[in-house]
Structure 1
């Protein structure tokens, strides 16, 4: 008998639908006509053991027992799914062949692998386990996946990476939460000080941003524009244009690090010098340019960022909507993907997907009608694919499905991003002009569109280039012009902006920008971040639930409790440097470029040092809080499952 173990019931039923009928449907599994069985986990059905399961001494929170470092890691059944675990144990024992059908990511890989390991499956039987990768729950896609089973051993690096992450969260979260909570109690703060490998640096980003805004002092800076015409008598507005002064090397002492002029008198002097003065074209270049599509297909984080910008949807809501589109409606592929590329094999389905979208009753039908399936963008790259690919629409039509407004908005974002891969390049003519007036250089640019291409799908993204409205006359190098007048423009430096759902997610995905240690920043790739695509929404949501973050309109700001916690903790625990580097190593493990020991050994050493540091932390800035034993016990119990 073959036993298929899916990650959740919906996936199990989709697999069974592609297997021989008739079926015998049970609450915990499905028997198919040829004797094979499909069963499932219900998400995680095993959890990391609590500290007291390792040693009774760990039941009491005490500095003397820290750090807690299990020598032999344990998993325990989750009470609410214990019955399903019992059924799986019986089925695994009966099975000749096991087919791993967890979700196609590192958490999905570990989830089923740890169940197989928990049952002590023999080495020989484990070596024969197959891997079924499904990112589309529609019947044709499931059948294709069933015909291309992989060897599960090939995916062990994914599982090891997830295992390392899980154990790191246990070690870091439990040890440091206990250490800092115990120190806080000495100052009268008798509540749990929750510390996490990801949540605390993320909270630190928000706190520091708000502190930067509060301490910001706006400063004026000045720009000079020259209003130019072809001649002194030229009155035709179409023959007039403006150019902006570029301060010379001698003026840099009066500028800030971004080249902005800070001394008003200098700018006023330039204006006075160029009024009603002759000008000459110092340099002019005209180039025919084209821009390939810069938008890859979505992974979860990029989709969440886009939805936050366009629809003000928070990350958790976007994930929930995606799960509905994937599991309930079967309209999109696997949503918890961290990949933005597509395999070349998927090109075979592209014409069918485009034709289906062209026949929908949604706005995407016009976009699909103008798509050209023969165009190949750089999204098609087999070398960039791991266990999953980017989120795209399936071949199933939404016409007979009643989508709510959230589902419709997310579906249209995904379809547009996919269809854009089949649009031509954007073409334009760019003119760069340099003019000399009274010894000073002034520049301007002009752009003339020649082929809209893929930009027709992204009108809002074209706003940045709309400032290039100069209509330049036909000019040549050495041509004499006239500066009718100079204009002084006073502007003011702006404070950094508070985080929003979109920018906080972007900060998590591109954390290297916020890393202070130059050496660590060098080892991080652009895509290395805090958390994973699948966990980021939950981490942000967790900080809100713990009352560390709050919303002010679209802004996300820290509460007084969140600020007090960050101010009380050692700086090392609140910066993303260390955890960002850990994420980089976890990714390297998944890609077979690092191993478990190379990650865990330095981690244990770091945690040991941080526990020692915590015992010396005064926490003088924490408020006095009365002890709430029931609430504290509940919070303690949750520590093992949070990052």
Structure 2
């Protein structure tokens, strides 16, 4: 008998539907026609043991017990799912072969692997265990996946990476939360000070941004525009480019701070000849943005529909599990396997006939176009989020589901539209010895951009630069008629500067984080890393947390009372500010955690090992506990506790809730 172990019941049922009939449904498993069996976990049915499982004395929160570092790690069954674990225990003894059918990501790999380890499955069965990767719950897709089973041994690095992450979160969260909660109590703070390996640097980003805004002092700076006339009496505007000689009057970002200097330039260039020093005309092509991974979808949905990350994930899970309209949503990949291209025509036809807003766009899509999204080398355990072959026409979708599904469809259809092509013109002028620039872009082929002019994604960031900003740094002010004027100029043309124009502007404070920008910060954390050496090795895609956990981490900070919303803005509460000010900088900035995240990724890619991650973490943890013990968090004095009362104040009747709180310090 072959035993399939799925991550959750919905996946188990989808697998069973693709296996021979008739089916016999039992409590916790399905027996199929050929005698094979499909069972399932219910998410994680095992969890890290609490500290007092290692030693009874750890029930009391005391500094002398810290750091708590298990010598032999223990897992324990979750109370609510013990019966399902018993079902799996019985079935693994009876079967001849096991098929691991966890979700196609690190957590999904670990979730089933740890059950196999916990049940002490015979080594013979472990060696023969196969891996089933299902990214689409529709019957044809599951049947295809069943013909492509792989050895589970290939995915051991994913499991090790997830295990290291899980244990690191436990060590960091349990120990530092206890240390700072104890010390906070000494200054009168009566709540749990939750510290996490990922959540605390994210809180630190928000606190730092809030302080920058609070203490920001706006300063004036000056720009000069030249109003230039061409031979046929048409006009355009060119912008002054200060020379190195002006550097003493400029700030670090190249802005001119001296009004007198700018006024002098205005006076010098008015009614003067303008000579074209250089003209560069270039046809440029911009390919369609890649399909979504979860984070890029969450960012776009936040910008377009003001949806928070957790809500987008919940909607995606519904579209995946309930409606079966999209592929696996917790993906960190924006590429597709080459073999998936064979399904493109069928998917496009389905969308064309769906009688939905995007159907006309689907009818105009060219299924023969193969974009850069299809790239086996960049696809890991899962691929980008795309529509399935199932028609949405008969699905009863909520407005939220329609909006998110529309974004996913739009991004997929863009792969089958031609490139956006435009003529880019860059002109350098010399006026009274000063240098001036003007740029313009003239669209030649709109291509995939047609999809972004209407519908749910009209004002949405595609996840990549997709506008004229790609070349000019910002949308040129020489658009429309100006653009045509510049594109027709020749180097021999004689131009005249009619007047100079002084523009007084003021520096602007940074903006408060929103759901979209906080997620973007988490996914591209290298922008916020201070250490230059670390910044250089981190990639733009290196981030804090995983696709599956980022939404939960942000929500956790709200639940624990460290963050709050003010309209669309996300700001820190007094408790959040107090906690960040109490912690050493290494805990509140993303540098250390970003480095650990990069190492976890390296473990998954077999470029690092478990010990190379855990040993430095344990050493750092000991130093942090020592620092916490030697000082009091005075920044929390007089601050009203966020969330629930501290652990040690709880009554015995809430022991179970306490355990949950204790375990919850994970991230």
What TM-score, normalized to structure 1? Answer: 0.97
Q: Give the distance between the partners of 2:658 and 2:631, measured in 1 at CA.
A: 22
Residues 207-606 of structure 1: pairs in structure 2 closer than 5 A: 207-230=207-230, 236=233, 239-293=234-288, 295-459=289-453, 460=459, 462=467, 465=475, 467-469=477-479, 470-471=482-483, 472=485, 474-606=488-620
Q: Give the distance between the partners of 1:215 and 1:146, measured in 2 at CA.
A: 59
Deviations 1:390-411 (A, max 9, x none): 1000000000111111100111
Contact kept, 8 Å, 1:227 with 1:485, in 2: the verdict is yes
Secondary structure of residue in 1 paired with 2:173: helix
Q: Give the distance between the partners of 1:635 and 1:262, measured in 2 at CA.
A: 57
Q: Which residue of 1 aligns with 2:472?
A: none
C-alpha deviation, 1:88, in angstroms:
0.8
Q: Which residue of 2 aligns with 1:50?
A: 50
Q: Give the distance between the partners of 1:109 and 1:554, measured in 2 at CA.
A: 36
Q: Which residue of 1 aligns with 2:134?
A: 134
Q: Give the distance between the partners of 2:300 and 2:476, measured in 1 at CA.
A: 21
Q: Which residue of 2 aligns with 1:640?
A: 663
Secondary structure of residue in 1 paired with 2:3: strand
Deviations 1:401-425 (A, max 9, x none): 1111110011111111111111111
Q: Which residue of 2 aligns with 1:121?
A: 121
The structure-2 alpha-carbon separation of the partners of 1:215 and 1:500, relative to structure 1 and needing over 3 Å to count, comes to same
Contact kept, 8 Å, 2:294 with 2:332, in 1: the verdict is yes
C-alpha deviation, 1:325, in angstroms:
0.1
C-alpha deviation, 1:558, in angstroms:
0.4
What runs of 5+ residues in structure 2 fail to find an aligned partner?
454-458, 462-466, 470-474
Q: Which residue of 2 aligns with 1:4?
A: 4
C-alpha deviation, 1:635, in angstroms:
5.2
C-alpha deviation, 1:467, in angstroms:
3.6
Q: Give the distance between the partners of 1:87 and 1:164, measured in 2 at CA.
A: 28
Correspondence 1:630 to 2:650: yes
Range with bigger deviation, 358-367 or 581-590: 358-367
Q: Give the distance between the partners of 2:229 and 2:208, measured in 1 at CA.
A: 49
Q: Give the distance between the partners of 1:24 and 1:372, measured in 2 at CA.
A: 45
Q: Give the distance between the partners of 2:499 and 2:552, measured in 1 at CA.
A: 57
C-alpha deviation, 1:559, in angstroms:
0.7
What TM-score, normalized to structure 2? Answer: 0.93
Q: Give the distance between the partners of 2:573 and 2:87, measured in 1 at CA.
A: 46
Contact kept, 8 Å, 2:439 with 2:476, in 1: the verdict is no
C-alpha deviation, 1:466, in angstroms:
6.3
Q: Give the distance between the partners of 2:374 and 2:399, measured in 1 at CA.
A: 31
Q: Give the distance between the partners of 2:418 and 2:567, measured in 1 at CA.
A: 39
What runs of 5+ residues in structure 1 fail to find an aligned partner?
none
Secondary structure of residue in 1 paired with 2:634: coil
Contact kept, 8 Å, 1:21 with 1:32, in 2: the verdict is yes
Deviations 1:214-264 (A, max 9, x none): 011111111111111125xx6x4xx11111111112112111122211111
Deviations 1:190-221 (A, max 9, x none): 32111000111100000000000001111111
Contact kept, 8 Å, 1:321 with 1:407, in 2: the verdict is yes
Q: Which residue of 1 aligns with 2:35?
A: 35
Q: Give the distance between the partners of 2:580 and 2:563, measured in 1 at CA.
A: 12
Q: Give the distance between the partners of 2:429 and 2:331, measured in 1 at CA.
A: 50
Contact kept, 8 Å, 1:192 with 1:635, in 2: the verdict is no
Contact kept, 8 Å, 2:204 with 2:589, in 1: the verdict is yes
Contact kept, 8 Å, 2:236 with 2:478, in 1: the verdict is no
C-alpha deviation, 1:476, in angstroms:
2.0
The total of aligned residue pairs comes to 637
Q: Which residue of 2 aligns with 1:86?
A: 86
Q: Give the distance between the partners of 1:569 and 1:151, measured in 2 at CA.
A: 45
Q: Which residue of 2 aligns with 1:612?
A: 626
C-alpha deviation, 1:15, in angstroms:
0.4
